[in-house]
Structure 1
Amino acid sequence: MILESSLEELQLIKCSLLPTEIFFFLDHCNVWEQALDSYASSGYDQSLEEMNLSSSTFHIGLENFNVWFEATLHLSASEKQLRQHLISVKGENISRDQQEDWQRIIEEKLEEIGNSEYPIYQLFTLHLLPLLHERQEKASEISPSPQDVHATSKSNPMYHALFTSHHLVSPTKRRNLQQWSSSLSCYGFAKVGYPGVIYVEGIQENIEEFVDKVKAMQWLALKLRLMEPVPVTLRPSHHQSTSNSDAGERRTSVERPNFKN
């Protein structure tokens, strides 16, 4: 049956993910998450038919990368009983040429795959996700290091910002935070749950843009607790000049983690 084969293919995709790969259904498709959990634990049964599932849209991509995909599977009742699918390219600060390049790749790979039993599974696991990893590695080779980001100047002083909110649980918001911090070369962390906490550090103009982006989203009881220059005692240059003969060898730099939760 079409529904059963769709659930089987989605389960294959979900089980094949590497640690840094992300898969989740969009908010309007939460019922599919329930159906997939039920299928994984109990197999296919009549209760899944009674859920009246139609189309499903899911997000798939990598952590801390500005390109991802949204795939929509339509359960078609055509004469040939074929599943229809639509795959779109999404991203943060990607050009029209980049989108068109990815769409061309998708079309070429689907044509190569042909009439496979699991075309979407093959498309992502054999082609698109490996290609995302490859491009992420190339991008990281030319991205500024934490030491470069922390290099201060009078025109671009180091700033940090701290938000608190009633909660932080939405996968979409967490994904946006990771993408913005990556594109703006910021570093920090987020506390997920109740309450939500967001801390970020970077050059002034990037922190100001990050703060504006966070404020533009809908949050419950969101408060900007601080946005100010990083105190001198927290800057790498201060730690590099600190020494203490009684304490023995000290760390000479402050390591800043990538934005994470």
Structure 2
Amino acid sequence: MERILQELQLIHCSLLPAEIFLFLDHCNDWNDALHSYVSFGYSDSLEQSNLSSPSLHVGLENYNVWFEVTLSLVQHKPLVAVKGEDISRDEQEKWQRIVKEKFEDIGDSEYPIYQLFSLHLLPMLHEEADNIHANRETKLLEPTSAHGDVLSLRSSHSSSSKVMYHALFISHHLISPTKRRNLQQWSMSLSISGFAKVGYPGVIYAEGMQENIEEFVDNVKAMQWLALRLRFREPVPEGVDGYNSASRRQWREFQKVGDVMEEMRRIGRQKYVVEMGIGSAGTSKGSI
């Protein structure tokens, strides 16, 4: 276990901006273990903690290919699976071949995952992401004039309504740069406030005029998701201050469930996430 904590610390300390290192949901206890190891070193309590093998997500914030890694407590060789949002089988197989080849190059290393990601996979992801997204971003940020006119008309029409609605989605994860960019664009075109919590799990909260929220909800549902659930879409209760006022209107992104709880508490909406199980013991622990 000490060797695994050493390797996890090396990976975490080697991360560059826009690189992601997250424990999967069922491994949240490893967050506490790693914090303890970094702060106080290896101890008897860590040795006796009886944790299962850790699994983690490693990738980039701005790229739709990532890796899920399991570090075994009993076997030296880790398992690395290639994951992706809307990637083809050929692309997945390509990255799986790269993983295999780089493992062979590393050989019998004491810290194979650290070397695999810091020397090979993350630099390769950066290079490929820069090449691909340089072209995609221009197209995504330039909607057709017809689509822009429709959004403008709908937004203008719905602004006449005085009924404020809000909606809450939960999904298995929210990683895709395309989805995150779309949410940002829709929030602007539909005059919606709210936030997206990225990573595992994915959380989307939006507030605005009724017709704008209806359109926003339809847009979110139209994208491909893993285990997306609309927890509610309803009028904002009377007596609750408007989150969507001009002076407060914004769309934000969070990395941790704790940030979601803090934001919802700040705007007086904490009961909605608590009632849905967000922020409970199984999901409230932050990531490293």
Q: Deviations over 1:151-178 (max 9, x none)?
A: 322698447899845698x9x64435x4
Unmatched runs of 5 consecutive residues or more in structure 1? 77-81, 200-204, 226-256
Pairing partner for 1:210 from 203, 210, 220: 220
1:108 alignment partner in structure 2: 101
Describe the superposition over 1:125-173 as per-residue Cα deviations: whole angstroms up to 9, x where unpaired: 11000111001101122214278523322698447899845698x9x64
* CA shift in 2, pair 1:181/1:196, >3 Å: closer
CA contact (8 A) 2:195 2:251 kept: no
* Length-normalised TM-score, structure 2: 0.62
Q: Which amino acid aligns with 1:180?
A: K
Q: CA contact under 8 A between 2:168 and 2:206: conserved in structure 1?
A: no
Say whether the 8 Å CA contact 1:191–1:197 is kept in structure 2: yes
The equivalent position to 1:119 in structure 2, one of 112, 118, 140, is: 112
Contact 2:56 2:70 in 1 (8 A): yes
Q: 1:15 to 1:72 in 2, by over 3 A?
A: same
Does 2:89 align with 1:96? yes
2:3 corresponds to 1:5: yes
Alignment match of 1:18 (pick from 10, 16, 19): 16
Which of residues 27, 39, 63 is equivalent to 1:65?
Answer: 63
Task: For 1:137, give the aligned amino acid.
Answer: D
Relative to structure 1, the CA distance from residue 10 to residue 38 in structure 2 (aligned partners, 3 Å threshold; closer, same or farther) is same
Offset of 1:223 from its aligned partner? 5.1
* Poorly superposed stretches of 4+, deviation over 4 Å: 159-163, 165-168, 205-209, 213-216, 222-225, 257-261
Aligned to 1:31: 29
Quick one: structure 1 residues 63 and 148, their matched pair in 2 at CA, closer, same or farther if it must change by over 3 Å?
Answer: closer
Give the SS at the match of 1:74: coil
1:56 to 54, 57, 66: 54
Q: Is the 8 A contact 1:14 1:23 kept in 2?
A: yes
Q: Alpha-carbon deviations, 1:41-82, whole Å to 9, x = none?
A: 110011011110221110011113111110011111xxxxx4
Equivalent residue number for residue 191 of structure 1: 195
Secondary structure at the aligned position of 1:89 is classed as strand
- For 1:9, the aligned partner's letter is E
Identity %: 42
> In structure 2, how many angstroms separate the alpha carbons of the residues matched to 1:167 and 1:258?
15
Deviation at 1:20, TM superposition (A): 0.5
Give CA-to-partner distance per residue, 1:105-135, whole Å, 9 cap, x none. Answer: 0000010000111110000011000111001
Kept after mapping to 2: 8 A contact 1:55/1:72: yes
Q: Give yes or no for contact 1:144–1:185 (8 Å, CA) kept in 2.
A: no
SS of alignment partner, residue 9 of structure 1: helix
Q: 1:144 to 1:25 in 2, by over 3 A?
A: closer
Distance verdict in 2 for CA 1:185–1:29, change over 3 Å: closer
- Give me the whole-angstrom Cα distance separating, in 2, the residues matched to 1:138 and 1:31: 37
In the alignment, the residues of structure 2 paired with residue 212 and residue 163 of structure 1 have an alpha-carbon distance, to the nearest angstrom, of: 20
Provide the alpha-carbon RMSD of the alignment: 3.9
- What amino acid maps onto 1:218 in structure 2? R
1:135 paired residue number = 128
The Cα of 1:37 is off from its aligned counterpart by 0.8
In 2, Cα distance between the equivalents of 1:17 and 1:46? 28
Structure 2 gap segments, 5+ residues each = 156-163, 188-193, 198-202, 208-214, 237-249, 255-288
Alignment of 1:150-165 (within 5 A): 150-153=143-146, 157-158=150-151, 164-165=166-167
Contact map agreement 2:55 2:68 (CA 8 A) in 1: yes
User: What is the DSSP-based 3-state SS (H/G/I as helix, E as strand, rest coil) of the residue aligned with 2:5?
Assistant: helix
SS of match in other structure, 2:68: strand
Given that 2:196 and 2:204 are in contact with CA atoms closer than 8 Å, whether structure 1 keeps it comes out as yes
Q: 1:163 to 1:33 in 2, by over 3 A?
A: farther
- Asked whether the 8 Å contact 2:54–2:72 carries over to 1, the reply is yes
> Which protein shows a greater Rg?
1
Q: Is the 8 A contact 1:71 1:86 kept in 2?
A: yes
Check the 8 A contact 1:187/1:258 in 2, yes or no: no
